[in-house]
Structure 1
Amino acid sequence: MSQMSKGESVIAEAPMNAFSIAIVLLCCIVNIADGLDFATLVQAAPVISHAWAVNPRMLGVLFASTAIGMAVGAFVVAPQADRFGRRTILLSALALNAVVMLLSAAAGSVHELLALRFFTGIGVGSLMANLNVLVIEYANRKWGNFFLSVMHLCYALGVTFASQIGYWFVADHGWQILFIVGGLFNLVILVAVFLWLPESMQFLLAAQPRGALERVNRVRRRLGVEPLDALPAITGGGRARTRIADLIGPGMIAGSVLLWVASLGYSVVGFYHLSWTPKVLDDAGLPTRLALLAGTFTSIFSILGNLSMGYFSAIVSAARLTAIYFAGAATSFLLFGLNTGDPYMMLTIAPVISFFAQGAFSGLMINATRYYPATMRAAGVGFVVGFGRFGAVAGPLVGGIVLGAGGGLLPLYAALAVVAAVAAACIFIVSRFHGPAPATA
């Protein structure tokens, strides 16, 4: 993994104080807003489909527009944080989502909503990548991986928040209430970030914009460390290091490609599992009520997978542990396929898949944020998230085609096991590659 900059080494070795914990928790709250923004359409879709007579194909296009926007946010917007700053991109994305969500509540046609969901996706994709970066840059070595896992749980809390709004208020106030609450929540978070979130010290040391020394020392004082007398010399061209070509430059290309493949692999198996498991269990003969209850079991085990990765990756190698979790997911998928004649055994194995798959995702993000130096970290993580968007579409789509064609569960789940095993191999190999020292080293 990449060597640490001076700013990172200060934070990595120092105990976390109230200031650094508050920053990390604020990032977690922002991720709740991100999950809420993504899930509003999911909750509004049944009502919108009836109110506007929207057919399933058009609903699919609406969902796809969000996914495409997320890819644009991850590939195009998130990397700009290496040039303009993490705080700048976060504020811009939150402002965009606040405006677009409120405009969505006033949408008068499915085509207006289609365009607005594309821009929502851009905001969601931009936030997702940069929040991972900020948490790692403000948490110390002991707690960084754990807090990153907690932040991923907060995204799920945002999705749950959207479902509760839908359950309690949509019947009386219409689907618009989802977007109104989402927009107002983003506005509140926007104000909080503007008032309390400082720029990343790693970015300030690497890019050295105007007033960087004063801003760095302001952060260092609040972290309880001595201020700097002068900024370190820039050895990599400062902002010029943010070129996307650097991700596939000498010393970086192998690790980048391996992380992209692992992200694609996770998204294929993870989103297939999330989308199709209840239906597969129902078709296998499990009582429908139990098949639906599987979602509760898988959610609980997903939380445990997240937290266990965050905790144990601070003790053992994060790369090797992530590879083990991917291997565990591969084994679980294969066991699921081998037990297709026993629906209760399938029900038992399904949460185990969630444990390993979600834990592997947290591990993937931990590895991505720690692989790239500060000068290209937002771009690196953005591309890892962006490649995952392709798998998020392909996994459920290909799975649906195979299941619809009656191809049999064992070949399908064996193929999913292979995909997870490839991701495990990628993460294991990436631990052998080292990025260049950051510009501020």
Structure 2
Amino acid sequence: MSGGSVQSNPAREWVEAKPLPGGVPSLSMHRPGCGVVSLQIWIGAGSRMEDRWPGAGIAHFLEHMVFKGTALRTALEINREAERLGGFLNAYTSYDRTVYHIDLPAAHAAEGVDLLADFVWSPTLAEEGFAPERDVILREISMYRDDPDSYLFDAVMEAAYRRDLLQYPVIGLEERFRKLTIEDLRRFHAQNYRSAKSFLLMAGDLTPELMRRAGAIVPVLENEENLSGDGRDESGGSEEVPAPVRLHLRGDWEGGRGMALFQVPTRTVREVLLAEWVVEVLTGGESSHLNRVIRVEKGLAHFLDGYVYSLGSTSLLGFSWLAEDEHLDEVETLLLGELERLAEAPWAEEDLARGKARLRFGGLRQQETVEGWASRGGEWFANLGMVPSWAEEHAVLQDLDAEALRQFLKSYMRPDQAFAGQLHPEGNA
């Protein structure tokens, strides 16, 4: 992996958060002697903050455009410099954030933060780069529409969220995307890229020169808040509760697909770990409860998986499955029925312990690379404003029990709270 494999030693690691001289928050995650650094700039603006351009995908478009050059570097020079430093440069956009990152040898980290800060915070956003990159994204939109899992997910989200920008795909809708101008991108950048919801993350073998350079080049904070809004309409300050949905769609794809989503709270370390533990207990591996019942015993699905997708203070806890068309309804009914039954039923200690063991090992495996450790730390810091130690995570996880799991299912994962959908092969009902 690009972050480099190292042996994690929690006793020699520490984390500190503080504003840099210009006011931009920073998170420093120290792992002395590992020889690797991951530098990340987290921008607190994703597709959910596009209220002036709803459904246009402007956050994702801007992610592409900042790589097109600055007053100091052309697009080609940005990539050449990253490669000269031995670095791996990339970015992604989601509903609530855009993240730029470079992983490179610690010896070149000071130059790396200079490069990253330059093109993220000071892009020229020139007119000549606009049309070619728009064509690139139009091709991405076309490919995205041809993916059955994306098609089903977007349809379910659109039906469930009627007052929230979560109803739109991150990449945007083609007809709205085509209306964007270079001035729109400049405005979105000015509003969001130097706000208090953005931060610089540095993880790994952090040298004094890197820390000095970061403090000198990171820009002055301009916006105390993210000015593009929070993805909700103007009718109220509370987060929208998604509508219960049961969709049946048809498409020209082989095999049937289904999914069920639930909105769950992730405002504390306990809530985050509880949601992740629920997923492991229910769908983590062949011996997990739902895989055992639906796939092994009943033989109804070819594949069944679960996941937690962070939206900030809440997350989507979801299940996806592949099955023959005639079994899609049965899988959905059985899955939702099991969730309802398990909210009242006793749990085998073996199932609960197995889920914790998988979750602990997954965390350790992620921390083996500086890149993975940094990404996990960034998630915590972006959503909770802090980063728990591995010992703190372990203690919280140990304290979770069957009653916590039952209460979670009863409170947030009832059948009447699900927004679900099925994608049937063309020609079938």
Normalised by the size of structure 1, how large is the TM-score? Answer: 0.31
Q: Which has the higher contact order (CA 8 A, sep 6+)?
A: 1
Higher strand residue share: 2
Higher helix residue share: 1
